[in-house]
Each structure stands twice: as C-alpha cells, then as structure tokens.
Amino acid sequence: MKIYWNGESKNIIGTRLRQLRQQQNISQRILAARLTLSGIEFNDLTILRIERGERFVPDYELAVIADYFHVSTDYLLGRTEK
C-alpha cells in the first residue's frame, strides 16, 4: 500500500466522503454500520476521522466505500467528477 501524506491531511477522500454521506442524509454511525456489512469493521469515529483527514484510508477500504456509494475510486480521490 502506498501512503500519500501532504502534512495536513492523511487522506484525500474525506471531503468527497462527507459530501456523499450528506447527500444521502445519513449519519456517520449509520454509514459505518452499513459499511461494516461488507466485512470490514467501521465505526462512527472511523468515519469522522476519515472525513477530517485524520486517518489513512487503505486501498481495500477505499474500494468498499466506492462500491457502497456507486462511485469510482477515482471520484473519491478527486481525479474525476463522477
């Protein structure tokens, strides 16, 4: 796994994750519970820390998040607009 860190944020998907979650009008707790159904443990603190850029996001979690929201990983990474 390659980790990129610009010194300010430990991930680059936080903003997009927050936007997608808010568009669906679901809480961090509900999102965490739904993502956990994929077999990877998430909790509301995990989602909070991702959204704030305080937590690294491994590639396998990135894939699960993209699948849940039906978007590409490139979208989450800010490389495309959908």
Give the tens place of pLDDT for each residue, 6-21: 567 889 999 999 999 9
Residue 6 lies in a domain: no
Residue 54 lies in a domain: yes
CATH code at position 60: 1.10.260.40
Residue 52 lies in a domain: yes
| Domain extent for 54 | 14-76
Q: 37-66 burial, b if ≥16 CB within 10 A, otherwise e?
A: eeeeebeeebbbbbbebebebeeebbebbb
Give the tens place of pLDDT for each residue, 23-59: 999 999 999 999 999 999 999 999 999 999 999 999 9
Q: What is the pTM of this model?
A: 0.88
Integer-rounded Cα radius of gyration of the chain: 12
User: What residue ranges in 1-82 does DSSP mark as E strands?
Assistant: none
